[in-house]
Amino acid sequence: MSSMADALALLEKELGKNDEEQAVTQWIDTGYPPLNKAISGRYDGGLPYGRLVEMYGDSSTGKTALATKWMVQAQRLGGIAGFIDWERSFNVELAKGFGLNDERPHWFYYRPKTWEEGNMKATKATQLLRKAGVIAPDAPILWVFDSIAAALPQSQAEKEIDQYTMNDTTALARVTSSTLKTQAFWAGELNATFLYLNQTRTKPGVVYGDPTTTPGGKAMEFYASARVALSRSKIMENAAGGKEFAGQNVGAKVVKSKFTKPFQEVDLRLTFDDLGVAHFDYNFTLIEYLIAEGKLEYSKPRVTWIDGKKYFIKELAEKVRAEGLESQLRSLLLAAAA
């Protein structure tokens, strides 16, 4: 017994005690509890602190709009949001309409030339912000990288287009493999959330199985703690003389999660205001979710609200927004989980 105790004492002296398990205990609320649950396994969860997350989909599936809402949420939690714009397409004026505070130190925005520069700037800024104590230690720092597909590796930036070789075809995949390993480390060390947006591509010649893939190789599939795939379908509503486009239904499938079972799916309703700006109607979508859960009585086409009155779904969603009844919707959701 004494030899065992002596050995353990020696090990502790030379190597220290066991490291604390790096479990995620903090989350950035996505604003939509069913999506929180699909990603993290809990309605009050969401995007994990200290981890990499990838969100990808076809063009106009709402990736940037969702990321903007999440940056706003990070700021509301007392934190900081940053945006690495490889696509050079982010509109901060539209983002301010979502509630984004574009003043420093709440907001950082960079348009780097290369993949390496973008990742370096985000990591360096996060290191300095944490070290300086600009925000509380438990406040979130969320960086959005838009997008992997648009990022230019340094090796390509140093060449003219007519100098590209076959090696340049795989340059992005090779550089992500080395970079994301480092980014995953710093996200954990700095308790920051790195959200990478990506696009989908179709693999030629695929007859069986899923023909879609994402640029940047396989590294993100390994290093991301959660991967969210977006899809869309049109929402058409009756209008004088026929049907008119009213928005789109965005499907979010969590194809990977290290926190709960994967392949859970939720729907999000994306509509457009008179200026053509996209907005997610979480109230409408949550009402539909509660109907599916059997927590709201629904006799097509009307739903019975807790006041006993019957409303069309769109009408009830507008009532909830106008009267600030979101907390009552969430209460019904927690009852559904009980």
Does 151 map to a domain?
yes
Which is it for the CA torsion 157, 198, 146, 29, positive or negative?
negative
Which residue range(s) make up the domain with 213?
Answer: 23-280
Amino acid identity for residue 131 in this structure = K
For residues 290 and 326, state if they share a domain: yes
One digit per residue, the tens of pLDDT, for the chain of length 338 reads: 568 888 889 999 899 888 877 789 999 999 999 999 999 999 999 999 999 999 999 988 999 999 999 999 999 999 999 999 999 999 999 999 899 999 999 999 999 999 999 999 999 999 999 999 999 999 999 999 999 999 999 999 998 898 888 878 899 999 999 999 999 999 999 999 999 999 998 888 777 777 888 999 999 999 999 999 999 999 888 777 788 888 899 999 999 999 999 999 999 999 887 777 778 999 999 999 999 988 999 998 999 999 999 999 999 999 999 999 999 998 888 875 65
Task: For residues 43 and 33, give the distance between their C-alpha atoms in angstroms, rounded to a whole number.
Answer: 5
Three-state DSSP class for residue 242: strand
Does 53 map to a domain?
yes
Q: What is the end-to-end Cα distance of the chain in Å, rounded?
A: 49
Contact 145, 196 (CB under 8 A): yes
Three-state DSSP class for residue 172: helix
Structure token pair of residue 161: 């287009």
Task: For residues 35 and 269, give the distance between their C-alpha atoms in angstroms, rounded to a whole number.
Answer: 13
For residues 169 and 247, state if they share a domain: yes
For residues 176 and 237, state if they share a domain: yes
Boundary residue ending a domain (258, 280, 302): 280
For residues 171 and 311, state if they share a domain: no
By C-alpha distance, which of 98, 133, 105 is closest to 277? 98
For residues 289 and 249, state if they share a domain: no
Boundary residue ending a domain (265, 280, 295): 280
For residues 271 and 287, state if they share a domain: no
Number of domains the chain is built from: 2
Contact 55, 67 (CB under 8 A): yes
Contact 28, 193 (CB under 8 A): yes
What is each CA distance from 218 to 71, 223, 264, in whole angstroms? 26, 9, 22
By C-alpha distance, which of 189, 210, 146, 161 is closest to 51? 189
